[in-house]
Every structure is written in structure tokens, then in C-alpha cells.
Structure 1
Amino acid sequence: MEQFQKQYYSISEVAEMFRVKTSKLRYWESQFPHLVPKRRSSGIRKYTPEDIEKIKTLIQLIEEKGLTIEGAKQAINHKGEAKNINTPLINQLIEIRTFLQGLREDLGD
């Protein structure tokens, strides 16, 4: 885990860390039950370093790897094994490649 200097961070500070809008963080909070920042009695969100690590994971899955919200949910439910989500698609592409290679060999003979 990264070295954090504070115990709590505001939503604007977290948004700035990841260069995202605060609305995206609020949306993710509604979509990912594991992301639940603490709230003051006034309702203001206070993100802990653990919350920030969860957001970092979401950034990696959604922004960097290009997963959808549903794909990111599956990846998190599979303990971050996002590689396994695309396995059916990869297997299908391998079958297509094998078929095309065989077709090319047949045409070349």
C-alpha cells in the first residue's frame, strides 16, 4: 500500500489524485458495494487509504484495462483475476485463428 500522509481524504482530493470527476467516484460508490467511504454527520465523504486503494483497483480495471462496470464487478468478485473474465473470448479467437490457418494451408496446397 502506498504511503499516505493523512487518515482521511475528501472526495475532491481523491478525484484529483486519480484525475477523475467527483461524480465518477459517487457513481462508482453506487455500483460497487465494497466502496463505502466514511461519512461525517453532515454527509461529507471521508476516504481512508483503504478506500483509495479500492479506487486505484477500479481505475486499473475500468480506465486502464477497459473493463465495463459489470466486468470490473466480476473481476473484483474473482479476487482481481480480471484475466479470467476474457477467457471465453480468447478461446473463441484462438479457434478462429486455428480455423483460418487451416483454411490458408488448404488454399496453398
Structure 2
Amino acid sequence: MPTAEKAPGALRTIGELAQEIGRPQHILRYWETRFPQLRPLTRAGNRRYYRPDDVALVRRIHHLLTDEGYTIRGVQKLLAEEKASKSAPRSSAEAFRAVRNALVKALEEDGG
């Protein structure tokens, strides 16, 4: 029985996502234990619902493992490094420039 295509922002069940990437559901549950970034919503009866960000992360993990040849440990390291680089503090000069540029842009838009 064909299923109706869900909207891009719709929540996906574990079964739908597992079928999409061609992996069994227990693999997705295992990935949840290995990747702290992967946290689907859980409802009554521990039913999992994957948000669009979770779906994108699952697709990326699947791609890195199957197409790029990464190991679980390698993907963990890569994701941790990306998180660290995103949260790295900027120098005070960079932060000052960003604030100044935002203020200049706001003033220009305001006609000042």
C-alpha cells in the first residue's frame, strides 16, 4: 500500500525513517545511544518521532558510515569537532565587529 508523501517539516516515525535509509529500526535506536546529538521526541509507549533536524542528522550519519567509509567512532569524532568549532568563542575584536556591523545595518534600514 503506497504511503502519502509527508511534508518536508513533518515528524517521521522510526519505521518511516528506517525504511527511507534502508536500515532496520534497531540500528536507529543503537545510533541514539552513540550520538548524543540524535534525540527524537518520544511519546507514549516510547514511540519515537524524528524532527527534521534529526532526520537530516540520521541521513548524514548513514551517508558517512555507508558512502564515506567512516566508523561509528570516526563519525562521533567528526560531529564532536564540528560542535566544538561552532561553539568556539570569537575574539573580542571579532565580536565587536559583528555587533558594530549589526548596528550599522539596523541604522541603515531605519533610515538613519
Percent identity of paired positions between Structure 1 and Structure 2: 28
Q: Which amino acid aligns with 1:10?
A: T
1:6 deviates by 5.1
CA distance in 1, matches of 2:16, 2:25: 9
Aligned residues: 78
Contact 1:4-1:49 at 8 Å conserved across structures: no
CA distance in 1, matches of 2:56, 2:79: 13
TM (normalized to structure 2)? 0.64
Q: Stretches of 4+ moved more than 3 A in 1?
A: 3-6
- Out of 11, 35, 51, the residue aligned to residue 54 of structure 2 is 51
* Structure 1: segments with no counterpart, 5+ residues: 81-109
CA distance in 2, matches of 1:53, 1:62: 14
- Out of 7, 10, 15, the residue aligned to residue 12 of structure 1 is 15
* Structure 2: segments with no counterpart, 5+ residues: 1-5, 84-112
TM (normalized to structure 1)? 0.66
- Bigger proportion of residues as strand: 2
